[in-house]
Chain A
């Protein structure tokens, strides 16, 4: 069964990059444009992994993560935070919320694969 990954980012660019990154693998990518939509998608899709942006309108990634952790049905879903901010304070704040890992933008696709591969099974799609 395909690994289901939820990409939550207000930037279509980043969602496209995430989709492209996992294309060679047997993954199903689900997208949401902000934290509010991300919570709905997480409850509906029960993804194996969430890749979550920090700064978003409507509901930011930190708020979404807090709400995720309060929900018994969703709190065990592992989360990788994507952030443009690598400062100590930001990283500490994210770590306290219980993320599995984080990735600072700009990032290379291989870095995302490496971090996701430590959390979920990534199986290469058979060559067509």
Chain B
């Protein structure tokens, strides 16, 4: 199993999947910025969904700057970009986008032989960094969507 599930393969899948989620649900472009430095967000919203199984555990985090998260929420809800959206609705959209990302990864892992289950999404707001557990491989994927950045952080441990 560990011969087919390698971190670079996971990142390749997640890159395609993020672009698909942005295109399909938001009608927004997104393109990977290879080897990008991590952008700094003054204030950010992070969606997180965990996954766990006998052979694999981990989590996916979707980090967005707060003003951009508002635009993402407007796009998904079919509202004008300048519309002011309630905090709960923005949280729900970011959670749902993270859920879609992780659901896709779960399917990819299951098809590669690593059966697992996913959690419901959680949201964190503020300025912070996420700590990885010991022995967990961690990767950051930085995307550009217009002038904005999107960070997908993947934590994965193969048992």
Contact = CB atoms under 8 A, between A and B. Distances in A.
A85 B103 contact: yes
Contacts of A10: 120
Interface string A53-66: 00111000000000
Contacts of A88: 110-111
Interface string B62-78: 00000000000100111
A56 B121 CA distance: 10
B107 A55 contact: no
A84 interface: yes
Contacts of A115: none
Interface in A1-45: 10-14, 16-17, 20
Contacts of B88: 12
B104 interface: yes
A123 interface: no
Contacts of B89: 12-13
Interface residues of B, number: 27
A13 B86 CA distance: 12
Contacts, number: 69
Contacts of A84: 99-100, 102-104, 106, 118
A13 B107 contact: no
Main SS class of interface, A: loop
Interface range, A side: 20 to 34
A85 B20 contact: no
Nearest to B77: A16
A20 B78 contact: yes
Contacts of A11: 92, 95-96, 99
Contacts of A87: 106-108, 110-111
Nearest to B103: A84
A108 to B, nearest CB: 6
Interface string A81-116: 001111111100000000000000111100000000
Interface of B: 20-21, 24-25, 73, 76-78, 88-89, 92-93, 95-96, 99-100, 102-104, 106-108, 110-111, 115, 118, 120
Interface of A: 10-14, 16-17, 20, 55-57, 83-90, 105-108
